A and B are shown apart, each in its own frame.
Chain A
Amino acid sequence: MELLKASDLVKRFGNTNAVKGINFHIEEGRCVSLLGPNGAGKTTTLKMLSGLLKPTSGSIDFKGEKAKDLRKFIGYLPQYPAFYNWMSGKEFLVFIGQLAKLNRKEAEKRSEELLERVGLTNAKKRKIGGYSGGMKQRLGLAQALIHRPKLLILDEPVSALDPLGRREVLDMMREIKEETTILFSTHVLHDAEEISDDILIMHAGEIAISGSLGSVMEEYRQPILQIEFESQAADWLKSIASYSFVSEVNIQGNKASIVLKDMVNGKQILLKDIVDRKLPIRKFEISQTTLEDLFMKVVKA
Chain B
Amino acid sequence: MLVEIKPVTRIEGHLYAYIDIGEGGARVQLRAEGFRGFEKILIGRPIEEAPNIVPRICGVCPVAHHLASVKAVEAALGVEIPRASRMVREVMGLGGVAQSHLLQLGFLLYPDIEHGEEVRNIYSTQLFKMFIVLRKCVLRIVDISGGRHVHPFNAVPGGVLKLPLREDIDVMRTEAKNGLKILSELYGELRERIESFIESNTDVVYRRKSMAVLVGSKEIEFYDGMVKIIDDNNAELLFQPSRYMEFIVEEPIEYSYSKNVYITINGAKKIFRVGPLSRLTTLREIQHGVSGEFYKDFKAVLSKWPQHPLLYNLARLIEVAYCLEKIIEVLDELQNTPATPRAKTMVEEGEGIGIVEAPRGLLIHHYRCSGDGLITYANIITPTTMNIAAMEQDIKELVETLIERQLNNVEYIKKRVLYLIRSYDPCISCSTHTIHISPNSSS
Are A and B a genuine interacting pair, yes or no? no
